[in-house]
Chain A
Amino acid sequence: MKQLMKKNNIGWLFIIVSVIAIGMFYFYPMFDALLLSFQSGMGANLEYVGFGNWSRLFNDPTFIQALINTTTYLMVQVPIMIVLALFFSVLLNDETLKFRGFFRTAIFLPAVTSLVAYSVIFKYMFSGDGIVNQLLINLNLIDVPIAFLSDGFWAKIVIIVAITWRWTGYNMIFYLSALQNIDKSIYEAARIDGASSFQQFLKITVPMLKPIILFTTITSTIGTLQIFDEVVNITNGGPGNSTISISQYIYDLSFKYTPNFGYAATVSYVIVILVIILSVIQFKVAGDKE
């Protein structure tokens, strides 16, 4: 018994450093931010306002616009990206395909580029005299350049295209590695039973990848909810407020306007709450019974 106690204590010793560090640098700030979200005021002159910030949220057209925009990105972009990534990974997993390594690298490459660098390039590609407009004009598809970045609808499309380009390859890698773990004999058996490729994909590949799909959906959801770099660099939230994201609004509240860190913390907690709700839903829908 004594021996066991000793063992346990030594175990505790090993983790105590990280427990303290995580507590100090992770949970304490989170708790402090929660306290902060019930305060309001300019700069250092903060005072407790109870739920004042929370009621302000619902009357704040900029916040509502940011919430709508972020949700739009989420609803449109994540499904497109997941399906694309699945599609690419299955194609690239085909052993008869030549230059597989090259294609894999090409599709994964965007994931290693800097967020700011690629955003700036997208901004120039889609500007009034950018390469996309010139291409469309030369192909005689349009007569006048499309104002991609100064039109609310097109600006959203550009953002969605940009993040899809950046993150599809990243998710594809997860699927590719998961595909390696599926036993080939399952496919062989299916083929003998006369299943078409599409049936194999739907009935074998997708169910076998389910945990990975769930994982990528959740990480992509969290990532998209926090989207900042792309919006700031490509459109800076414009035109008007039509592409502003929640994270950008938090930045504006803290650093662009006269700082109100309390209200900014409240808006940050909205992201936390959204992430929790959406993750629970995704687990319920896609997860197993356990």
Chain B
Amino acid sequence: MKKVLGVLVTLLLLITLAACGGSEDEDTSGDNGGEGTESDGPTEVTAWAWDPNFNIRALELAEEAYDGETELDLEIIENAQDDIVQRLNTGLSSGTTQGMPNIVLIEDYRAQSFLQSYPEAFYPLTDYINPDDFASYKVEATSFDGENYGLPFDSGVTGLYVRTDYLEEAGYTVEDVTDITWSEYIEIGKDVKEATGYNMITMDPNDFGLVRMMLQSAGSWYFEEDGSTPNLEGNPALREAFEVHKAMMEADIVRLHSDWSQFVGGFNSGDVASVPTGNWITPSVKAEESQAGNWAVVPQPRLEVDGGTTASNLGGSSWYVLNTDGKEAAAEFLANTFGSNEEFYTTLVEEIGALGTYTPGTQGEAFEAGDEFFDGQSIIQDFSNWTEEIPPVNYGMHTYAIDDILVVEMQHYLDGRSLDEALSNAQDQAETQLR
């Protein structure tokens, strides 16, 4: 009797296993095109990215511009950034390449985290691109251990978007807000509020983008140059950023928001007089057509610490190739388009206003054209010039973890805790938590 049972159980297990195996086979043929790899047909390349109007569109334009030798069949899959991060993490940590893309877009702040957490998972592009062609801060962010893993894409170069009509009402000109310090910015903000009743800036207390902007503009970051030793307590740039933040709050020139739509609503409704942020906000600013001619873009204010500049970066991402079948084709595709095609960058500017970080591709008429919305200012040329001045910093592995620690300490600092205590607490937490 026992024997019969044994046989039955074995049979059952076999059936289950066979079923699993069977479905796996189906998956492979579905994802990678089983026939395609055997015959001489085009190589299938899958790419994951977010934002249909920007990154996805850029990929589509790249596919059109591609003229390399290998025939490609590019499949572009749109996912939200958070979903991409999640799927990459689960996929890569389980050690499988099943269902993973060939090309993936990763935000620069997270790049080191992926490169170091999953060694071997990414394919070095060192042989495919010339790093000197790209803005140095981008190369720094996308390289690890002497190899270039990322192909630098969009610039997160920052600027200060200002409402010229509000400034005028308060007795200021655009020149008055160009190349200023953050303290001067706050003083102007007070005058603007007095004259017009509008706040100078809209801010999300949980989002540390502004602080990160200030840090990078002074060539500093949350970490020492090694990218892993927290540098918070004795970081003069961070101290000043905290002080500026508190001074803004105390000057009562801040409108608070808690999500993206409220942020955009802040300037579209005319509630704030200026927006210091990355150049990717341009389409959202221009969305409110009634404000045409009332905006200008100037370099962001600078910190007063040594090395404080008016150029910085916020956000921005780069393309990576996963170390799987089809990696050569994927790398060739990227190198042929984003990595060397100057014309393609002109198309990007004309079609979607996307500003790349490929230096040879930042000249030409498309860049010099004035923008009527900004009263004829050639903002793309301006942004492009500022991109070259961005101080490179090592974003390290834990930018978002430090963000969360600092957000809490900022709250304490605003509630009256001393700056020394707040930053030394943050330093202690960072040291015990990040490992």
Q: With A and B bound together, what is the CA distance between A6 and B262 in angstroms?
A: 69
Q: With A and B bound together, what is the CA distance between A56 and B121 in angstroms?
A: 29
User: Which B residues from 396 to 432 make CB contacts under 8 A with A?
Assistant: 397-398, 400-401, 404-405, 407-408, 410-412, 429, 432
Please pick, from A16, A149, A235, A240, the residue contacting B411 in the complex, using a CB distance under 8 A: A240
Which of chain B's residues have a CB closer than 8 A to the CB of A127? 258, 262
Q: Is the CB of B89 within 8 A of A255?
A: yes
> Interface readout for B227-253 with A: 1 if CB under 8 Å, 0 if not?
000000000000000000000000000
A245 → chain B closest CB, angstroms:
14
Interface residues on A, range: 35 or more
Which of chain B's residues have a CB closer than 8 A to the CB of A259? 89, 93, 113, 117
Q: Is the CB of A239 within 8 A of B206?
A: yes
> Interface readout for A116-134 with B: 1 if CB under 8 Å, 0 if not?
0000000100011000000
B8 → chain A closest CB, angstroms:
6
Please pick, from A16, A236, A240, A257, the residue contacting B12 in the complex, using a CB distance under 8 A: A16
Q: Is the CB of B89 within 8 A of A43?
A: yes
Q: Does A276 contact B (CB under 8 A)?
A: no
Q: Does A27 contact B (CB under 8 A)?
A: no
Q: Does B53 contact A (CB under 8 A)?
A: no
Q: Does A220 contact B (CB under 8 A)?
A: no
User: Which B residues from 90 to 114 make CB contacts under 8 A with A?
Assistant: 92-93, 95, 113-114
User: Which A residues from 226 to 259 make CB contacts under 8 A with B?
Assistant: 235-242, 252, 254-259
Please pick, from A12, A17, A43, A241, the residue contacting B404 in the complex, using a CB distance under 8 A: A241
User: Which A residues from 106 to 158 make CB contacts under 8 A with B?
Assistant: 123, 127-128, 147, 149-150
Which of chain B's residues have a CB closer than 8 A to the CB of A147? 256
Q: Is the CB of A16 within 8 A of B9?
A: yes
A258 → chain B closest CB, angstroms:
4
Q: With A and B bound together, what is the CA distance between A185 and B114 in angstroms?
A: 69
* Known contacts A59-B432, A238-B205, A261-B93: A252-B118 contact under CB 8 Å: no
Q: What residue in chain B is nearest A40 (Cβ atoms)? A: B435
Q: Does A61 contact B (CB under 8 A)?
A: yes
Q: With A and B bound together, what is the CA distance between A12 and B9 in angstroms?
A: 10
- Label chain B's interface by main secondary structure: helix
* Known contacts A150-B205, A239-B205, A257-B398: A44-B92 contact under CB 8 Å: yes
Q: Does A91 contact B (CB under 8 A)?
A: no
Which of chain A's residues have a CB closer than 8 A to the CB of B1? 2, 5-6, 9
Q: Is the CB of A44 within 8 A of B262?
A: no
Q: Is the CB of A56 within 8 A of B432?
A: yes
Q: Does A42 contact B (CB under 8 A)?
A: yes
Q: With A and B bound together, what is the CA distance between A21 and B256 in angstroms?
A: 51
Q: Is the CB of B404 within 8 A of A252?
A: yes
Q: With A and B bound together, what is the CA distance between A197 and B400 in angstroms?
A: 57
Which of chain B's residues have a CB closer than 8 A to the CB of A44? 92-93, 95, 117-119, 121
Which of chain B's residues have a CB closer than 8 A to the CB of A83? none
Please pick, from B89, B95, B117, B432, the residue contacting A60 in the complex, using a CB distance under 8 A: B432
* Centre residue among A123, A254, A256 by max chain B CB count within 10 A: A256
Q: What residue in chain A is nearest B86 (Cβ atoms)? A: A255
Q: Does A45 contact B (CB under 8 A)?
A: yes
Q: Is the CB of B433 within 8 A of A258?
A: no
Which of chain A's residues have a CB closer than 8 A to the CB of B196? none
Which of chain A's residues have a CB closer than 8 A to the CB of B92? 43-44
> Interface readout for B245-288 with A: 1 if CB under 8 Å, 0 if not?
00000000000101100100000000000000000000000000
Which of chain B's residues have a CB closer than 8 A to the CB of A258? 113, 116-117, 397-398, 401
Q: Does A80 contact B (CB under 8 A)?
A: no
Q: Is the CB of B411 within 8 A of A239?
A: yes
Q: Does A90 contact B (CB under 8 A)?
A: no
Which of chain B's residues have a CB closer than 8 A to the CB of A239? 205-206, 411
Q: Which 5 A-B pairs have the closest CB atoms?
A: A43-B117, A258-B113, A240-B411, A257-B401, A240-B408
> Can you list 27 contacts pairing A with B, beta carbon distance less than 8 Å?
A9-B1, A9-B4, A9-B5, A12-B5, A16-B12, A42-B397, A43-B93, A43-B113, A59-B432, A60-B433, A61-B408, A123-B259, A128-B256, A147-B256, A150-B205, A238-B258, A239-B411, A240-B206, A240-B408, A241-B407, A255-B82, A255-B85, A258-B116, A258-B117, A258-B398, A259-B93, A259-B117
Given contacts A239-B205, A239-B411, A257-B404, could you give 11 more A-B pairs where the C-beta distance is less than 8 Å?
A: A9-B5, A43-B113, A44-B93, A44-B121, A62-B404, A150-B256, A240-B408, A241-B408, A254-B89, A255-B82, A258-B116
